[in-house]
């Protein structure tokens, strides 16, 4: 309970789901064999942190930001650039991660102080503008960032499949650097999630709720709203940057479409809403459902289409090429039936 | 006078060409309950807003214990000792009654910047919140959210937040507005209790004359934003000018 900052998931069903997900992710290399499955699991770990950090902003502080992928990108490009220029080493990863997080913190501070004094909507507009500007810069400064092609870089051999740690297989899994890399991602993501959970349950987190509920009164009982909002922005930016660094280390690649694009921003928003705003645990549920749907819905529809061959209309509707349509339908349904998100719905008050 | 706690000096605010509060110079003493009266639009709430900082003055100063508060933000004035309850209920709607009060105590103790401890584990804050709940008789509904409360209980909580803040200057803006006849006395008893405590300076905007008569040590009358009369209740109420111009309607309401 101390680890969870006295914030229980609430309700036996949601607790059971979360425990299952935790076990699933912790043992993913052994439970779900194959590169694709492991890739999906790592992606889920990274996005849980990214979505949780956005929930801190949106669900707790009530601030709408469109710059979250930008901060994610800072962390990712930080690692890529240092690895590119310093050579493959853990030092490069460390320095890249720290400098990405620092850059994210400074920019978040500047945006926050500049725009949060006025109105929340103004902040949303500014983040949109800054994020677009950064995306354009990254694609234009191709000498440094690799432009639209992005950057492939090398990470220490200890974290790649080339490094073997044992001659035997454990439950059919080769003990190599890739496995170590997964557990690096998994454990960092777990720690970051617990830290975020701690922050939202701290006295500071309670003030964020108060500001979301009634900023006018929060000020009148002695909280300086601008500072708290800026603080939340900086914290969430740093967490997003750290998630970005993890993602880059896992992929050994960064590019605008994988870490900076506006589509990712929309994905994050959807994951927060589906999981449940202002619940933190919603980030886990939202990220898992969304990423599984993104990765496997198409294949599942292919199977369904095959099974329904010969029936009128149905095979056409379930054509794998229409998977985005069905993803959309799923979201509309989930928002309609769970307006407070899945965790919000399952949580007993 | 030396025991003046809060003073406004030539306090003025203009909105365009309209002078809403016009050079009000007034001092408020410790242990004194001052009722602020005047017809609607006289500038009572605006005067309150100038003191607590929601509106910035065009001219003049707000002094608390000799310290100039005029340039300070609302939050800083709160920490300096100005406490304000609002005419329209102004709470944290989706949080529980207990959490509303806990937030005030947490602010009072300067805990808001603490990122790492678990808020729910602060026993001293919880105990202080329980004491306030007990005192305002909201313990039974402490775990309901504000949206579930009756209007009367929301008004009570509005007052409770101020009790939890325990400021040097209590400012109540029509604390019993919209409350039923059975509910109002609870709030009024609470204010009377505060008055009995030493050192509390209380400002009260109120329309009900019977309330003013029983509670107030002094009446300040505002008219068109300016100070029109100031003195003990009996004297002010008896004054012909005041009665005709400003009290007639209010007295008729009683």
ipTM (interface predicted TM): 0.89
Question: Which residues of A are less than 8 Å from B106 in CB distance?
Answer: 203, 206-207
Instruction: Dig out the tokens for B197 from the structure.
Output: 């405590």
Q: Is B176 on the interface with A (CB under 8 A)?
A: no
Q: How many CB atoms neighbour CB A346 within 10 A?
A: 22
Q: How many CB atoms neighbour CB B226 within 10 A?
A: 16
How close B40 gets to chain A, by Cα (Å)? 24
* Residue to substitute from A208, A222, A239, interface B, most B β-carbons within 10 A: A222
Chain A residue closest in CA terms to B117:
A202
Residue owning tokens 């503008």: A129
> Can you give the pLDDT at residue A307?
83
Chain B residue closest in CA terms to A3:
B118
Indicate the residue of A206, A217, A223 with minimum beta-carbon distance to B90: A217
CA atoms within 13 A of residue B72's CA, in its CB half-sphere: 22
Parts of chain B with a pLDDT under 50: 1, 252-254
A206: pLDDT strictly greater than 80: yes
Integer Cα distance of B51 and B59 in angstroms:
12
> Can you give the pLDDT at residue A212?
94
> Can you give the pLDDT at residue A1?
63
Integer Cα distance of B161 and B23 in angstroms:
31
pLDDT tens readout for residues A266-289: 999 999 999 999 999 999 999 999
The percentage of residues in chain A with a pLDDT greater than 90, rounded to a whole number, is: 68
Burial of B249 (0-12, 13-18, 19+ CB in 10 A): exposed
Phi and psi angles of residue B67, each rounded to the nearest 5 degrees, phi first? -100, 135
Portion 197-236 of A in contact with B at CB < 8 A: 198-199, 201-207, 209-210, 213-214, 216-225, 228, 235
Q: Is B98 on the interface with A (CB under 8 A)?
A: no
Asked if residue B187 lies in contact with residue B89, where contact means CB atoms within 8 angstroms, the answer is no
How close A205 gets to chain B, by Cα (Å)? 7
Q: A204–B104: do the CB atoms touch at under 8 Å?
A: no
Helix (H) or strand (E) holding A55: helix A35-55
3-state secondary structure of A33: coil
* Residue to substitute from B84, B118, B173, interface A, most A β-carbons within 10 A: B118
Give the Å distances, CA to CA, from A193 to A46, A70, A185, A305, B22: 10, 20, 12, 39, 55
Q: B92–A207: do the CB atoms touch at under 8 Å?
A: no
- Residue pairs spanning A and B at CB distance below 8 A: 97
A100: pLDDT strictly greater than 90: yes
Q: B165–A198: do the CB atoms touch at under 8 Å?
A: no
Q: Is B239 on the interface with A (CB under 8 A)?
A: no
Domains of chain B: 1-81+168-178+200-254 (3.40.50.300), 91-166 (no CATH)
Asked if residue A299 lies in contact with residue A63, where contact means CB atoms within 8 angstroms, the answer is no
A349: pLDDT strictly greater than 60: no
Q: A206–B99: do the CB atoms touch at under 8 Å?
A: yes
Q: Among A41-45, A168-172, A212-216, B92-96, which stretch is predicted with the lowest mean pLDDT?
A: A168-172
Question: Which residues of A are less than 8 Å from B124 in CB distance?
Answer: none
Q: Is A4 on the interface with B (CB under 8 A)?
A: no
- According to DSSP, residue B197 is labeled S
Chain A residue closest in CA terms to B86:
A217
> Can you give the pLDDT at residue B245?
58
pLDDT tens readout for residues A215-252: 999 999 999 999 999 999 999 999 999 999 999 999 99
């Amino acid at each position: 309970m101390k680890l969870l900052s006295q914030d229980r998931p609430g309700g036996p069903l949601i607790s059971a789901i979360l425990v299952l997900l935790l076990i699933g992710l912790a043992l993913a290399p052994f439970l779900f064999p194959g590169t694709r499955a492991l890739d999906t699991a790592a992606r889920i770990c990274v996005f849980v942190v990214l979505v949780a950090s956005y929930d801190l902003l949106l669900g707790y502080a009530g601030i709408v930001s469109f710059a979250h992928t930008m901060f994610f990108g800072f962390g990712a490009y930080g690692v890529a650039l240092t690895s590119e220029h310093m050579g493959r080493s853990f030092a490069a990863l460390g320095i890249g991660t720290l400098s990405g997080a620092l850059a994210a913190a400074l920019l978040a501070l500047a945006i926050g102080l500049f725009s949060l004094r006025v109105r929340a909507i103004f902040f949303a507009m500014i983040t949109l503008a800054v994020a677009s500007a950064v995306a354009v810069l990254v694609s234009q400064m191709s000498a440094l960032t690799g432009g639209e092609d992005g950057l492939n870089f090398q990470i220490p051999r200890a974290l790649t499949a080339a490094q073997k740690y044992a001659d035997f297989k454990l439950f059919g899994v080769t003990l190599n650097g890739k496995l170590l890399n997964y557990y690096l991602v998994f454990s960092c993501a777990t720690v970051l999630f617990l830290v975020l959970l701690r922050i939202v349950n701290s006295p500071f987190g309670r003030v964020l709720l108060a500001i979301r509920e009634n900023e006018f009164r929060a000020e009148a009982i002695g909280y300086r709203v601008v500072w708290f909002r800026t603080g939340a922005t900086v914290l969430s930016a740093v967490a997003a940057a750290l998630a970005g660094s993890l993602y880059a280390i896992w992929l050994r690649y960064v590019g605008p479409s994988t870490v900076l694009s506006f589509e990712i921003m929309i994905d994050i928003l959807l994951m927060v809403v589906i999981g449940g705003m202002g619940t933190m645990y919603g980030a886990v549920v939202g990220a898992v459902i969304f990423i599984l749907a993104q990765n496997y819905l198409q294949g599942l529809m292919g199977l369904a289409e095959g099974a329904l061959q010969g029936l009128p209309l149905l095979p056409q509707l379930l054509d794998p090429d229409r998977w985005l349509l069905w993803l959309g339908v799923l979201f509309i349904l989930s928002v309609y039936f769970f307006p407070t998100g899945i965790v919000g719905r399952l949580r007993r008050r | 006078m030396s025991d003046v706690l809060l003073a406004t000096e030539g306090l003025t605010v203009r909105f365009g060409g309209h002078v809403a509060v016009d050079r009000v110079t007034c001092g408020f003493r410790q242990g004194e309950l001052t009722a602020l009266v005047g017809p609607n639009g006289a500038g009572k709430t605006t005067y309150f807003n100038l003191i607590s900082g929601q509106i910035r003055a065009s001219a003049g100063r707000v002094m608390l214990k000799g310290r100039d508060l005029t340039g300070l933000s609302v939050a800083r004035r709160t920490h300096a000792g100005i406490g304000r309850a609002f005419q329209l209920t102004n709470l944290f709607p989706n949080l529980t009654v207990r959490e509303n009060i806990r937030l005030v105590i947490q602010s009072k103790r300067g805990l808001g910047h603490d990122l790492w401890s678990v808020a729910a584990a602060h026993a001293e804050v919880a105990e202080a919140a329980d004491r306030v709940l007990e005192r305002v008789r909201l313990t039974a509904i402490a775990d309901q959210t504000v949206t579930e409360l009756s209007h009367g209980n929301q008004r009570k909580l509005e007052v409770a937040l101020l009790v939890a803040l325990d400021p040097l200057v209590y400012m109540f803006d029509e604390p019993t507005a919209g409350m039923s006849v059975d509910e109002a006395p609870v709030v009024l008893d609470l204010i009377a209790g505060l008055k009995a405590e030493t050192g509390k300076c209380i400002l009260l905007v109120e329309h009900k004359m019977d309330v003013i008569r029983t509670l107030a040590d002094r009446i300040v009358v505002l008219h068109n934003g300016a100070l029109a009369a100031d003195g003990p209740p009996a004297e002010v109420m008896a004054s012909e000018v005041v009665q005709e111009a400003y009290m007639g309607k209010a007295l008729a309401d009683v």
